[in-house]
Chains A and B, each alone.
Chain A
Amino acid sequence: MLGTPALSARTAVVDAAAAGGAASYAWLMIALPLLGAAVLLLAGRRSDAWGHWLGVLASAGSFVVGLLVVLQLIGLEPDERVLSLHLFTWLPVGDLTVNAGLQLDPLSMSFVMLVTFVGTLIHVYSVAYMEHDVDRRRFFAYLNLFVAAMLLLVLADSYAVLFVGWEGVGLASYLLIGFWNHRTDYAVAAKKAFVMNRVGDVGLLLAMMMMFAAFGAVDFQGVFAGAAGASQGMLTVVGLLLLLAACGKSAQFPLQAWLGDAMAGPTPVSALIHAATMVTAGVYLVVRSGPIFEGAPGAQLAVVVVGAITLLFGAIVGMAKDDIKKVLAASTMSQIGYMMLAAGLGPVGAAFAILHLITHGFFKAGLFLGAGSVMHAMDDEVDMRRFGGLGKYMKVTWLTFAAGWLAIIGFPGLSGFWSKDLIIEAAFVGEGWRPWVFGTVALLAAGLTAFYMSRLFFMTFHGEERWAPTSEGKKQRPHESPALMTVPMVILAVGSVGLGAALVVGDTFTSWLEPAVGAVEHHDPVIPIPVIMGATIVLMALGVFLAWRQYGASTVPVEAPRGSVLTRAARQDLYQDAVNEGVFMRPGQYLTRALVYGDSAVVDGAVMGLARGTSGMGGWLRRLQTGYIRSYAAIMLVGVVAALVVVLAARG
């Protein structure tokens, strides 16, 4: 048992191997999908016939093991619910000894449940969605690889091992965004995602360097123990570096530009990686690093500000896009902005951030799968101006999508209502200007969310049929998707409706998380809670109404109107790519070109010129170059003999 202050280790860590049961086999959660990926990649075409089912099985196996561990944790006393499982010593480097170890606690296991449950559903959905793709087996290999890396990320008991998962999910994301990389723009999107994530990863690397230099450790226990006695300046720097990492992975401002392009990946990928799980890893990192942020109010404020900016950024972009997946991507950014904002509030909001993360995982995955179902029915069309009136042709998709839509806009009683409302209330907690600014942003964004999601819903499922002919020039014949696709959608829809209430009523979830993220401190918002709730509902209703008037009840033009300055800017993602290009890419290209030129003209030229200019060597070299190659051996021999003679002479 650790003698560290309460701040660093809220609960004593228990050895999972000693605890026995499922926890001592927790490594299977990572090993199963990893094995699945390895088999699928190595077996090659031979496994084409059954490979996808192996993938499903591996993911489902992880879920079963995870569920057993969760049941085991529930069976323990709350303050014994942090187990650690030592696997082997990864880096035996003296001062820097890093163990490959897992931490099984309510926080990590909540993620495990989300990742494996939603992940398995999406695996099943993909069996049908990718049926006609010749590379379906490879797709499942990558999906399995992703699940393994994501579980390693959340289960790691040190920043170093977390980083392995962190970059592992980046790799899986890269492979899956570029799954159809015969299209150059898709391949570019994949690379863009990886490189922008690497910018964030530099933050995490630097944070670990700081931790090692300051605390002599990179494992959670060691770092949090060190953080307890560290200066605020130090913790602020570490916190800001962690925030940089989180911005990359979670597509938060200013590293948000990759997420929209990442929609190049097959839709199940967007659902799993770029909506429900991987992109929320940044929120996980911030919440997991609670003991660091608690000692660094400046870094906390930065997290809140980043969250608030992205919250609005995503919502604004989402209102203008016509590509159904890009609207959902912008919405994801925006919703993660909510989570970030909450995570930055500290103990007041951390648990709510995770709560929203879980509910969002369900309804956003459901929405993406619904979008995939629509695309499946409409010959891969993504332009919502070319949809319309689809509700009556695909009832299940319409109904499940409606559940997700109502959940995300915070319709009273549904999942999103519970989790989002708590965040808005928490944003109104505090002193001075902050609650007013952040609270207002959070409240306003609820209205914007209602608008853009309703716009999407009405443009897709209601109004006139504005369908374009298929790529083969035939008439569109939308149809409901097969059961392998609709059943996962139905299950996610059930979660979208009921999960929020199930987790919030009776504070089930926050008290479950308590051993890992601390108790939720109760504070009163600067405005009474009923007023906040009322305002949220009014804004939501307003958003839905405006969207209905413009996109449900009126004719939606097939060609996008020119739009206002703001609309045009939002369609261009507020010029994020232009800024990145002008500030980083162009100067970088010029620098690289200048260096390449300089390397041959200046550096090489100087060295070679020096060699040629040495008068005594000139003749020798010319002879060497013209073929007296063996002279080299002679020179060497002469040199060695000369050396011997000189030494002999000097020594006498």
Chain B
Amino acid sequence: MQTISDLPWLSILIVVPLVAAALIWLVPALQRVARTVGLVVSLLVLAGFVVMATGFDFGAAAEHQLTEQASWIPQLGVSYAVGVNGLGLALVGLSVFLVPVALLAAWREQEVVPEGAVVARRQAGFVALVLALEATMVAVFSARDVFLFYVVFEAMLIPVYFLIGSYGGPRRRYAAFKFLIYSLASGLIMLVGVIALGILGPGGPDGFLVDTLAGAELGVWQERWIFISFFIAFAVKAPMWPVHTWLPDAAQQASPGTSALLVGVLDKVGTFGMLALCLPLFPEASRWAAPVIIVLAVISVLYGALVALGQRDIMRLVAFTSVSHFGFIVLGIYVREEVALTGAMLYMVAHGVSTAALFLISGFLTQRGGTQQIAAYGGMQRVTPVLAGTWLVAGLATLSLPGLSGFVPEYLVLLGTFRVNIVAAAFAVLAVIAAALYILLPYQRMFTGPRNESLAALPDLGAREKWVVAPLVAAMLALGFVPGPVIDVLRPVAQEAAIEQPSSLDTATGAGPDGSSDAAAAVAEGSEK
């Protein structure tokens, strides 16, 4: 009798959706019931994840567990190696949680199709692409081989490309094209880095394993250049200022379900890559580049928030709020402080839930109203109260209201950052004010005020849509009030990634006019007692 953890769970979670996608794509009989099959498969994957998680040793969440390893191209040192630590587990969990939700949300999206297309075929295509995307998401968050990671990292762009380019709004081809240019360019840059790692690394039959490469001795500038090549790819994906401009277009044109997965999960690959690859592979270069990255992160935080304020399209607005939030995540990672790192990782999960909710619920609205222009709506709270209420809940989570998912991670990032970098924290905290505006202003414009009579007959959320929203709202509340279990999984990973640093108050007040550094030091001593 095998124990649960002996099964190759991660591979199962990768293969099942992939096979299902292929079957839906190829077997005409399945295409008529593609949505049902897709939902059932994604729920099975979710159930599989839950079973797998019971085999995860939460006491050793910093370790990579559920590992599988097989030689793939031994001549080159490439292996098929998967495994997750606490962070990987959380992100795989986020992915498999959001896929069924997004599929259910998109249930009726493809019922009206372009001329000449067949409804069942379109729906099957959509479902197959989402399932294929799910497979790559699980794979990318569990890859333990740099080459494997790179291959999946690139491969996952294909389903996304088709999801945007085939199932989006009127300018979807432009958006998909832009997404492709960014991905292609940054992917090629990263490829150079991967090749260089292969050449300069220790080599051997498993030379591309992250664990092998982590101890590799690279020259100072070799390490820095390879770091830069990786970081650019991750910064594009994250997305950080100034390489964020593909995201608003993609989010505006993609269907809400695609946007939810794209921004909610896929973009996390960027920040995941920073944590899982950049920090262990390039420790020195990561420290070296941190000051610049922190500045870029703080710019992203404020820039994303301010530009969001000026958007007229609700989907673009949500996309820009994400630029701001990714700024917080990157900030939390690169200050390398334990509390901030924990916050950054929790942020990745929390943001996935709240942003997916905001995209999906906004989608419910825009599908009813037929436009994404904020100004086209008005007084919708009196017309669709449940839609309005749940939008507000998702919005409040996005503006980091305590009690909902957004608050705890942002709080941890700010408190942790302040401890080692007062200036960065003091600037970043200003986004708290802008966040109130970028959520409440569109709420005011779309949901309050006099009713727009042409929209007065729109129906409120139906049963299916409520089933989409309910798990998201539950997750937002759970992450707000009892984030403990998730934090417990992430904190050991954060501890490993953190580095010793002097307290900012010592350095800051040492130079300050009040000369309180002695007191601060005395307090620090006192608290140690």
Contact = CB atoms under 8 A, between A and B. Distances in A.
Looking at B165, B187, B429, the one whose CB has the most chain A CB atoms below 10 A away is: B429
Interface residues of B, number: 104
Interface in A401-451: none
Nearest to B506: A213
B440 A195 contact: yes
B518 A648 contact: no
A191 B444 contact: yes
Interface string A616-636: 010001001100010011011
Interface stretch (A19-27, A56-64, A484-492, A595-603): A595-603
Interface of B: 73, 75-78, 147, 150-151, 154-155, 157-158, 161-162, 165, 173, 177-178, 180-182, 184-185, 187-188, 191, 194-195, 198-199, 203, 241-245, 303, 306-307, 309-311, 338-339, 342, 379, 381-382, 389, 396, 401-403, 407-408, 411-412, 414-416, 418-419, 422, 425-426, 429-430, 432-433, 435-437, 440-441, 444, 447-451, 481-484, 487-488, 491, 495, 503-505, 509, 512, 514-516, 518-520, 522-524, 526-527
Contact of B310 (A174, A595, A611): A595
Contact of B487 (A93, A194, A229, A236): A93
B195 A182 contact: no
A205 to B, nearest CB: 6
A646 interface: yes
A617 B306 CA distance: 33
Contacts of A591: 306
A624 B414 CA distance: 43
Contact of A596 (B181, B244, B310): B310
Nearest to B389: A41
Contacts of B436: 194-195, 198
Given A206-B426, A230-B523, A650-B199, A608 B178 contact: yes
A163 B482 CA distance: 16
Interface stretch (A84-92, A117-125, A317-325, A517-525): A84-92
A214 B243 CA distance: 37
Interface SS of chain A: helix
Contact of A92 (B73, B338, B411, B487): B487
B520 A234 contact: yes
Contacts of B518: 231
B315 to A, nearest CB: 15
A647 interface: yes
A591 to B, nearest CB: 6
A171 B306 contact: no
B177 A205 contact: no
Given A41-B389, A231-B519, A592-B309, 8 more contacts: A91-B412, A191-B440, A209-B418, A212-B418, A216-B524, A599-B307, A624-B180, A643-B194
Contact of B514 (A92, A232, A625, A642): A232
A216 B526 CA distance: 10
A163 B402 CA distance: 7
B154 A639 contact: yes
Contacts of A629: 161-162, 165
B151 A640 contact: yes
5 contacts: A90-B482, A90-B483, A174-B440, A205-B432, A233-B509
Given A91-B412, A202-B430, A624-B180, A636 B154 contact: yes
A213 B503 contact: yes
A579 interface: no
Contact of B242 (A88, A603, A642): A603
Given A209-B425, A643-B198, A93 B342 contact: yes
A651 interface: yes
A608 B418 CA distance: 36
A644 interface: yes
B444 A188 contact: yes
Given A182-B448, A229-B522, A621-B181, A603 B245 contact: yes
A209 B505 contact: no
B482 A181 contact: no
Contact of B199 (A191, A642, A651): A651
A31 interface: no
B519 A643 contact: no
Nearest to B343: A93
Contacts, number: 248
Given A164-B403, A167-B401, A592 B307 contact: yes
Interface in A88-136: 88-96
Interface string A63-97: 00000000000000000000000001111111110
Given A607-B243, A624-B177, A647-B195, A164 B402 contact: yes
Contact of B523 (A88, A89, A229, A607): A229
A564 interface: no
Looking at B194, B505, B527, the one whose CB has the most chain A CB atoms below 10 A away is: B527
A150 to B, nearest CB: 14
Interface SS of chain B: helix
**Top 4 nearest A-B pairs by Cβ distance?**
A233-B514, A231-B519, A231-B516, A596-B310
Interface residues of A, number: 84
A178 B504 CA distance: 42
Given A91-B483, A181-B449, A639 B188 contact: yes
B412 A592 contact: no
A129 B242 CA distance: 54
A411 B184 CA distance: 79
A187 B444 contact: yes
Contacts of B76: 644, 647-648, 651
A214 B338 CA distance: 16
A632 B487 contact: no
B175 to A, nearest CB: 12
A646 B75 CA distance: 12
A260 interface: no
Contact of A195 (B403, B437, B503, B505): B437
A234 B509 contact: yes
A92 B488 contact: yes
Contacts of B484: 88-92
A191 B402 CA distance: 18
A647 B527 CA distance: 53
A231 B510 CA distance: 12
Interface in A196-238: 198-199, 201-202, 205-206, 208-210, 212-218, 226, 229-234, 236
A209 B414 contact: yes
A595 B308 CA distance: 10
B320 to A, nearest CB: 9
Contacts of B184: 632, 635
Contacts of A229: 519, 522-523, 526
B326 to A, nearest CB: 15
A284 to B, nearest CB: 17
A231 B487 contact: no
Given A215-B527, A592-B310, A231 B514 contact: yes
A94 B195 contact: no
Contacts of B425: 209
Nearest to B180: A632
A168 B412 contact: no
Interface in A217-271: 217-218, 226, 229-234, 236
Nearest to B488: A92
A328 interface: no
Looking at A195, A213, A214, the one whose CB has the most chain B CB atoms below 10 A away is: A213
A160 interface: yes
Nearest to B408: A91
Contacts of A592: 306-307, 309-310
Looking at A184, A236, A639, A647, the one whose CB has the most chain B CB atoms below 10 A away is: A647
A191 B437 CA distance: 8
A77 B238 CA distance: 58
A69 B526 CA distance: 35
A613 B474 CA distance: 48
B505 A94 contact: no
A236 B513 CA distance: 13
Given A233-B509, A595-B307, A212 B194 contact: no
A650 B519 CA distance: 58
